[in-house]
Structure 1
Amino acid sequence: MSDLILHHYPSSPFSEKIRLILGYKQLAWKSVIIPQIMPKPDVVALTGGYRKTPFLQIGADIYCDSALICDVLEHRQPTPTLYPKDQKGLARIVAQWADEKLFWAAMAWNFSPKGAAQMFGGSPDAPVEQWGLKAKVFGDDRAKMRVGMPRLPAPDAAAAYRSYLRRLSDMLEGQAFLLGAAPSVADFAAYHPLWFTRTQTSAMAGILDATPAVLAWMDRMAAIGHGTMEKFSAAESIALCARSTPTMAEKEPFLDEHGLALGAPVSITSESFGPEPTEGELIAATRMHYTLRRTDERAGTVHVHFPRVGYILKKANP
């Protein structure tokens, strides 16, 4: 069975979501550290354009977006499950809310001046002269990814974050995890933006103190760990991709919503955050995801997979 290779960086919140799931399922994995900001030539060699973090590589197959990675890991190791039998839909809906609404409220709070000073200057009291340029470079990079996506003003982000924390606390009343006695995908999605507050911008973590049930739940989540990790280089991962054969296209029925046939040249972009397109030949469009075949001079023939939800498929420009 091919190795799981996670392309990520340590402070990435969505990467922490996947690292914990790897630990929950007790999976061994290889770690490739990627840059936080562009340029990312080794990333693009594998994805064809997609630049969000993390992505998962299995041989010559590249899986984009943490929601799809969750499904891939569930298929790889079905137990313990991320999707409780009687709560599959609820778990996915809560996870989607957490990855979007909760995440953006938390990050707007985290990157207040004190949080930014800690992230880029090493201390919440660091003078702006020490960290301002780093913050600007990072902010400019992320602004290019936001496209027309509005930024939540800091006071409104604080109000939303506090409300969301209280709602999570309510969900934890009388139970260890959000949907019951065991974690589900909802827990991992809700945890990662709070993890960022607590561990990466701890100067801003006082907001968590009003919800002790959430703090106790975070301790339970953190105790899961990250599984068995082995360091791997970008060069090694690209070489592995080049000598591997991608998996065959899904046997699930082709579901056409766009009037595009299999084999058509297409592009896929995120509907909101991350406008960089990946272009290739459409070889699968199932109920849950798309697959493109593309060729790179270093990585060889690659199959790049995207979830349908949250992504826009178009005919490629000639």
Structure 2
Amino acid sequence: MAELILHHYPTSPFAEKARTLLGFKQLPWKSVHIPPVMPKPDVVALTGGYRRTPLLQIGADIYCDTALIADVLEHIAPTPTLYPPLHKGMARTLAQWGDTTLFWTSMAYNFQPQGLADMFGAQPALAKTFADDRMAMNNNQTRLRPKDAIAAYKSYLRRISETLGSQEFMMGDVPTIADFSLYHPLWFTRVRTPSLAGILELTPAVLQWMDRMAGIGHGEHEPMNSADAIAVAAASTPASLLTDSTFQDDHGIPLGSAVSITPESFGKESSEGELVAATRTHFTLRRTDPRAGTVQVHFPRIGYVLKKLETPA
């Protein structure tokens, strides 16, 4: 199998989820640091437009969104499993809540003035660049104000603590996908906005669980530059590791059509190409880039919008 290449930046919470997943699976990986804000020309060369962080590259296959990345890592290294049979449905459901409701509540809380000072210090220009970039990604969606997030975040932390009870992890003695999805928003509070991290002390069981999650680490990795990663894609032939292949047509769009795939919310830049898979779990499009060559870009079905293009991509 081709090497695993994670495109990320150190302070990204979803990248921390992916890094910890790689550590849990004990898979070696290459680390490509990408910009936290646009422009991201090397990312767009691989995805055709999608710009959210992180991406997992395996040869000429680009996997978007940590929900799908987790499935790919599970296929590569089935044990230890992220989806224990007795708790598979609940673990996925809790993970989706962690990646959405909990994440946005955490970010609203973290982006108070004290948190922004932790993140950017005396660099107002950098803070403005980041704020402008995220405002563009937000696409005028309504988000919690920081003060409104305080009570919600406290309630969610209590619920996580109650779910843990006397267990080591959310579903028992070992982590599942739920643990990784609940961990990364809290990690951001603890690591990136330490002046606001006192909220975590209200739930000691959560802090102890976070210590256990942090102890998983990121596994064996080494740096790679983005130009070399693009060269890997250009020298490779797409070969998806996603095992479900049955066509599920919910849109009236046949395979081979020119399509766009766009996140439902936040960072709604589209990727365009030829639809080569639409299964119960994922979409895949094929596209060609002058530098990256022919690549396949994969998205989870949940959270993404598929549309047919009137003209070829």
Number of residue-to-residue matches in the alignment? 310
Unaligned 5+ segments in structure 2 are none
1:1-318 → structure 2 map (5 Å cutoff) = 1-121=1-121, 130-247=122-239, 252-318=245-311
- C-alpha distance in structure 2 between counterparts of 1:235 and 1:71, whole Å: 27
Change (3 A) 1:180 1:250: closer
- 3-state SS of the aligned residue for 1:209? helix
CA offset digits 1:141-168 (Å, max 9, x no partner):
0111111321201121111100000000
Judge conservation of contact 2:138–2:266 (CA < 8 Å) in 1: yes
Give the superposition deviation at 1:174. Answer: 1.5
Judge conservation of contact 1:22–1:226 (CA < 8 Å) in 2: yes
CA offset digits 1:187-225 (Å, max 9, x no partner):
000000100111111111000011000000000000001
- C-alpha distance in structure 2 between counterparts of 1:30 and 1:63, whole Å: 15
Judge conservation of contact 2:110–2:146 (CA < 8 Å) in 1: no
- C-alpha distance in structure 2 between counterparts of 1:245 and 1:251, whole Å: 19
- C-alpha distance in structure 1 between counterparts of 2:167 and 2:59, whole Å: 40
- C-alpha distance in structure 2 between counterparts of 1:286 and 1:16, whole Å: 28
Give the superposition deviation at 1:131. Answer: 2.9
- 3-state SS of the aligned residue for 2:93? helix
Q: Which moved more, 1:136-145 or 1:183-192?
A: 136-145
- C-alpha distance in structure 1 between counterparts of 2:295 and 2:169, whole Å: 38
CA offset digits 1:227-276 (Å, max 9, x no partner):
10011110000001000000168662111111111100000000011110
Return the letter of the residue paired with 1:170.
E
CA offset digits 1:276-311 (Å, max 9, x no partner):
000000000011000000000000000000000000
- C-alpha distance in structure 2 between counterparts of 1:291 and 1:302, whole Å: 10
Return the letter of the residue paired with 2:111.
F
TM-score, normalised with respect to structure 2: 0.97
TM-score, normalised with respect to structure 1: 0.96
- C-alpha distance in structure 1 between counterparts of 2:296 and 2:42, whole Å: 16
- C-alpha distance in structure 2 between counterparts of 1:30 and 1:274, whole Å: 25
- C-alpha distance in structure 1 between counterparts of 2:4 and 2:141, whole Å: 32
Return the letter of the residue paired with 1:215.
L
- C-alpha distance in structure 1 between counterparts of 2:98 and 2:246, whole Å: 30
Unaligned 5+ segments in structure 1 are 122-129
Return the letter of the residue paired with 2:277.
A
Judge conservation of contact 1:250–1:284 (CA < 8 Å) in 2: no
Judge conservation of contact 1:265–1:279 (CA < 8 Å) in 2: yes
Judge conservation of contact 2:57–2:63 (CA < 8 Å) in 1: yes
- 3-state SS of the aligned residue for 1:255? coil
Question: CA RMSD, aligned part only?
Answer: 1.1
- C-alpha distance in structure 1 between counterparts of 2:142 and 2:127, whole Å: 19
Return the letter of the residue paired with 2:144.
L
- C-alpha distance in structure 2 between counterparts of 1:149 and 1:86, whole Å: 37
Change (3 A) 1:178 1:261: same
Return the letter of the residue paired with 1:316.
L
The match for 1:125 is: none
Give the superposition deviation at 1:136. Answer: 1.6
CA offset digits 1:97-154 (Å, max 9, x no partner):
0000100111111111011011011xxxxxxxx3333222101101111113212011
